[in-house]
Every structure is written in structure tokens, then in C-alpha cells.
């Protein structure tokens, strides 16, 4: 079947589901040279569809199968709890079109998605995080054997529209990505929350504590991103012997901060695998 895209430079991308992540990805594509007629979305809510057409200027439809029948690249952006039902309703259209299918549904394995869609499809599983909503996301990607180099580049270009991407050699590593970058923003928010409270208890005004905490976190992340040194070396550079930082880090180390983060990530990995098993068995 001939491509329905109007610009040979980019394929037609269709999103089934128009929640925050789908809208962020669509906005990212529009900022990165996709035309508005190369991006379409579906949503059962008429008000939501009108908002999408007004804000993004793209077409939004109420029929998922229509999106599946037209898209060269189909992005499954629905909640994982309903993905099985949604996939089964569009399976016939997907089998006729044979698009590249990208799932951003957390915790759902490719083997289950492929089964629900009827098999024989190029599939990519992506795990973006919430920072994608502001264009600073971190996404892990895994492709099945039917995804060729061109398709890999297409999938990467879509997810890179909202941040950085890394390709994984084994799908099970998606669980580690989920535990690190998927859940990771919450870890940093917890650290900021704790630092802010400690600063208030040390005598700072709450507004001052909030501002200094956020700017310190931002500055540290920016130094790590823009430099060429690993975090351990950066930490040592700001830790003067006998100084205040050394004393603070000593307390954190003796309190088991490394063990706690290790256990936290391991717990998240374990839960991610439990959830994947649950979604697969339910359908």
C-alpha cells in the first residue's frame, strides 16, 4: 500500500491515545519539521479532540481503526490496562497496513502486543519518562527483529523529539530503564523535598529553601551534562578535605545512601516485571 504521507521527507505518524505523552511527542515532531498533516491522533473524547485540533493544529479522530489504517508509523499511547482491548480492535487494520508500531505503554511486553495485533509486525517498545513533557525526557528503546535500520532511525527521531534516547539489546533491560529514568524523577524530587525541609529546619525561609534547592539541583545536573567528567569525579572536586561538604557526604555514606538507592532500583525492577506478567496474563 502506498504511503499516505504528503511529504516524502517524513512518514505519516498516527497516535492512538492523545494523553499528555502523546501530545508532547506530537508537539515535538511539529517542532522538528513534521508538517501538521503528517501527524494524526485519536481520542474518544470529543472535547479532547477539539482541544488537540485547536492547540496542535493537527487532525484528531474518534476512531482508532481509522488511525491504524492510515499511519505509516503507529504509536500506541494508551494506558497499559486497556492496551490489549485497543490493540485487538485495530488488529485487522494494522495487518492490512503493516506499519512500524511503537508502544509507549509502560510494562507491556512486545510478545503480548504482537499477539494482540496478529503477529508479523515491526515493533518497538519505548520507555519515556515524565520529563518528556517538557522536552527533557530520557527514553529506552528496544526493537524486535523485523525493525530495520530505517525504522530504527524513524523511531528514534520520534522519541528524540522530546529528549535523549538509548537503544537496548535485550527487552528485559527495559525494566532497568523503568527503574532508573522512568521512576527516577521521583527519586530526585524526594531528595529535593528532603533537602528543602532540612534547610528550613536549619533556619532558612521556606521560599529561600525552595529556590536554593531547585537551583542547586539544576546546576549540578547541568554541570554533569555539559562536562566530560563522571559524577564521582565531580563530587570529589567539590569536596574539600576537612570542609563542610566532606562532613555532609560522610553522613550520607555512613547512613547507607548507596545501599538504599540500589535496593530502590531493584525493587522497581522487580515490580516492573510483576506488572508485565500481570498485563500479559490478563489478555
Q: Quick one: 226 and 188 in the same domain?
A: yes
| Residue at 4 is within a domain | no
pLDDT for 10 beyond 90: no
**How high is the pLDDT of residue 33?**
87
Q: Quick one: 169 and 87 in the same domain?
A: yes
* Residue 28 banded pLDDT, cuts 50, 70, 90: very high
Give which of 137, 161, 174 is closest to 73, Cα–Cα.
161
| Residue at 8 is within a domain | no
Q: Quick one: 173 and 189 in the same domain?
A: no
- CA 101 to CA 132: how far, in whole Å? 20
Q: Which of 144, 177, 210 is the last residue of a domain?
A: 177
**How high is the pLDDT of residue 2?**
38
| Residue at 131 is within a domain | yes
* Structural domains of the chain, count: 2
Query: According to the 3-state scheme, what is the secondary structure of 223-282?
Result: HHHHCCCCHHHHHHHCCCCCCHHHHHHHHHHHCCHHHHHHHHHHHHHHHHHHHHHHHHHH
**How high is the pLDDT of residue 282?**
63
Q: Quick one: 89 and 223 in the same domain?
A: no
**How high is the pLDDT of residue 17?**
95
**How high is the pLDDT of residue 32?**
87
Instruction: Specify burial of residue 137 (Cβ count, 10 A radius: 0-12, 13-18, 19+).
Output: buried
Q: What is the 8-class DSSP label of residue 15?
A: E
**How high is the pLDDT of residue 283?**
62
* Residue 190 banded pLDDT, cuts 50, 70, 90: very high
Q: Quick one: 236 and 140 in the same domain?
A: no
**How high is the pLDDT of residue 5?**
39
* Residue 123 banded pLDDT, cuts 50, 70, 90: very high
* Residue span of the structural domain in which 248 resides: 184-265
Q: Quick one: 35 and 160 in the same domain?
A: yes
**How high is the pLDDT of residue 4?**
40
| Residue at 32 is within a domain | yes
| Residue at 270 is within a domain | no
* pLDDT tens digit sequence for 255-276: 999 999 999 999 999 999 999 9
* Residue 279 banded pLDDT, cuts 50, 70, 90: confident
Counting residues of the chain whose pLDDT is more than 70, the rounded percentage is 96
**How high is the pLDDT of residue 237?**
93
Tell me which residue has cell 522487580.
Answer: 270
Q: Quick one: 145 and 197 in the same domain?
A: no
CATH classification at residue 113: 3.40.50.720
Q: Which of 128, 158, 177 is the last residue of a domain?
A: 177
Neighbours of 69 (CB within 10 A): 19
Q: Please report which helix (H) or strand (E) contains residue 175, including its range.
A: helix 173-177
Q: Quick one: 120 and 215 in the same domain?
A: no
Counting residues of the chain whose pLDDT is more than 90, the rounded percentage is 92
Q: Please say whether the beta carbons of 91 and 117 come within 8 A.
A: yes
pLDDT for 216 beyond 50: yes
Q: Quick one: 134 and 257 in the same domain?
A: no
Q: Quick one: 239 and 166 in the same domain?
A: no
Q: Please say whether the beta carbons of 77 and 21 come within 8 A.
A: yes
* Residue 280 banded pLDDT, cuts 50, 70, 90: confident
| Residue at 229 is within a domain | yes
User: Can you tell me the mean pLDDT for 66-88?
Assistant: 96
**How high is the pLDDT of residue 16?**
97
**How high is the pLDDT of residue 82?**
94
Amino acid at each position: 500500500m502506498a504511503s499516505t504521507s504528503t511529504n516524502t521527507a517524513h512518514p505519516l505518524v498516527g497516535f492512538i491515545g492523545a494523553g499528555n505523552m502523546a501530545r508532547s511527542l506530537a508537539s515535538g515532531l511539529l517542532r522538528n519539521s513534521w508538517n501538521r498533516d503528517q501527524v494524526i491522533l485519536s481520542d474518544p473524547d470529543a472535547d479532547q479532540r477539539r482541544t488537540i485540533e485547536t492547540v496542535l493544529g493537527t487532525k484528531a479522530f474518534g476512531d482508532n481503526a481509522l488511525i491504524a489504517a492510515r499511519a505509516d508509523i503507529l504509536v500506541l499511547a494508551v494506558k497499559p490496562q486497556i492496551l490489549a482491548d485497543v490493540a485487538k480492535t485495530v488488529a485487522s487494520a494494522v495487518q492490512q497496513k503493516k506499519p512500524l508500531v511503537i508502544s509507549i505503554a509502560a510494562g507491556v511486553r512486545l510478545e503480548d502486543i504482537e499477539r494482540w495485533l496478529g503477529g508479523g509486525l515491526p515493533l518497538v517498545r519505548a520507555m519515556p519518562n515524565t520529563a518528556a513533557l517538557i522536552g527533557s525526557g530520557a527514553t529506552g528503546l528496544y526493537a524486535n527483529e523485523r525493525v530495520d535500520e530505517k525504522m530504527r532511525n524513524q523511531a528514534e527521531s520520534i522519541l528524540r523529539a522530546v529528549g535523549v534516547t538509548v537503544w537496548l539489546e535485550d527487552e528485559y533491560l527495559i525494566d532497568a530503564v523503568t527503574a532508573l529514568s522512568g521512576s527516577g524523577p521521583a527519586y530526585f524530587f524526594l531528595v529535593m523535598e528532603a533537602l528543602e525541609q532540612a534547610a528550613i529546619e536549619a533556619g532558612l525561609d521556606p521560599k529561600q529553601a525552595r529556590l536554593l534547592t531547585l537551583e542547586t539541583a539544576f546546576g549540578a545536573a547541568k554541570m554533569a551534562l555539559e562536562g566530560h567528567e563522571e559524577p564521582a569525579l565531580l563530587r570529589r572536586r567539590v569536596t574539600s578535605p576537612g570542609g563542610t561538604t566532606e562532613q555532609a557526604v560522610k553522613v550520607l555514606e555512613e547512613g547507607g545512601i548507596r545501599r538504599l538507592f540500589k535496593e530502590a532500583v531493584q525493587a522497581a525492577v522487580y515490580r516492573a516485571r510483576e506488572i508485565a506478567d500481570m498485563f500479559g496474563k490478563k489478555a
